[in-house]
Structure 1
Amino acid sequence: MDSISGEPDYSRPTNPWFRLLLSGFLLLLVLVGFGYCTSQFFSTPDPVVRIEATEVQEGLPRFVPIPVFGADTEGSTYGVWIVVTDDQIAGYVSYGETGCHVRWNPVGGVFSDFCTETSYDIGGSRITSSSGRDLHEVIVRYDPSVLGRYVIDLEYIYLARCAANSIGACSTGDDDEKIPLPASPISLVLD
């Protein structure tokens, strides 16, 4: 009873509306942030991947996994091999003719599709006659700004030229055929 009959506590605010308004604004800010994050999560991915130049060695291909491409039957994620040599900067899609992940063989200095034992040189050209095409390409360029980096443009996949015994998607004409970055796994588009 002493607390009721005692001196009033002037440290407590008499008007609660300011705190209620501030709480409502904070709740609105959280909801807007949640909506923005959700829309970014469900939107189309940025068709550009940037790799620091220090992560790429000349003459040694560097694999960059691209999760939106999907994976092969062994669970290996498809991606892009960046190749930098004296005369080229190139990007090759790691999707073989049969849907297997194409790996770099450092001992032989070639790309290998272990499902078909097909080989490709460091320039993406087929070495073995059993291969029906070269490796598909993407545009890779060097950006010298901010310590330098390689920019992989995934907006289009440039199809390799077909050979007589090719299977799957490939370029049949003299012009470069390209397909836009698929929204589904790459195997559904290139088979």
Structure 2
Amino acid sequence: MENILILPDVKTVNKHLRIENLLVNNMENDFFNNISINGRYIYGYLCLNSFFSSKNTPDLPESLKKDIEEFVSSDRLDIWHENIEEVLPSIIINNSFNSGYYEIIDEKYYNDLREYYTNIGSDSCNLIENLLNIGASNLFGAFDSTISIKYLNNIISILKDNNVYLPDPERVAALNVEEKNGWGNTVSMKDYLPFQ
């Protein structure tokens, strides 16, 4: 059987070049400085989904997906933080369940996550880690835009390094940093995801 190379159409290529150009130029022009933490988090999640789709990475476990998506709709981020701080890839991979670290998750969830993180590769784990850090980065101090921007830049760099198309940042342009002291209004993550 002959291998056939299928190239994307010119319109698709031009769209993705425009998006990458917009991101590069607007990062220098503070595009994401005008986007709320919720908007940055949603964009990071869109990047994660784009990467997973491009690399045929297995879907997130349902409990982890629920915890990740809850960030932008929660009005109790302290509880959200308690739920996610034990599921970060770096925590799961570097701490045995019997280490005494875990108070929220049970051993089955720990084992499921450990197996998942071990099988998806370091770039996928780093995307999850950086995404969750966007959400947690300003929880216990004054709002500082540069903290969450750093994690978002890490996510964007991983996609670029792997030649994965970046989502259109205009999808989060309406999520303004002026809303709720930089956090942004609560929204439903599903409203920003492509049809699944």
TM-score normalised by L of structure 1 = 0.25
Greater gyration radius? 1
Richer in strand (by share): 1
User: What TM-score does the superposition give when structure 2 sets the normalisation length?
Assistant: 0.25
Q: Which has the higher helix share?
A: 2
